[in-house]
Amino acid sequence: MPTKSNKKIKHLFLSLLFDGIGMLSFAVPFLGDFSDVIWAPISAWLMIKLYKGKIGKAAGVVSFVEEIIPGLDVIPTFTIMWLYTYVFKKSKFNKIIDVD
């Protein structure tokens, strides 16, 4: 059974990979716009599967919009979601209940 730390690292690796795939459209001129049409729904689905719940669904919509609009591929949506899930959200929770 994977530990919480292993899941965290796995999600970071996948997030970096998926952001890298999304940015590949800049590598090939004109082909990139076509690939965004294919990648946008895939990235939304991956985001929903990677990050569960309402926040994952909202991030899926953001990921779709970010990928479908030309020029926004540089935004690392998956990595931002990872940071929110494992860094910012957790530290905010710990401060509220004063966990040491």
User: Which residue intervals of 1-100 are DSSP H helices?
Assistant: 4-23, 31-50, 53-68, 77-83, 89-97
Tokens, residue 33 = 């716009």
Its sign, for the CA torsion 59, 60, 63, 69, is negative
In whole angstroms, what is the distance from residue 63 CA to residue 43 CA? Answer: 6
Q: How does pLDDT run across 58-83, given as a tens digit for each residue?
A: 999 999 999 888 878 889 999 999 99
Q: How does pLDDT run across 26-40, given as a tens digit for each residue?
A: 777 777 777 888 899
pTM: 0.80
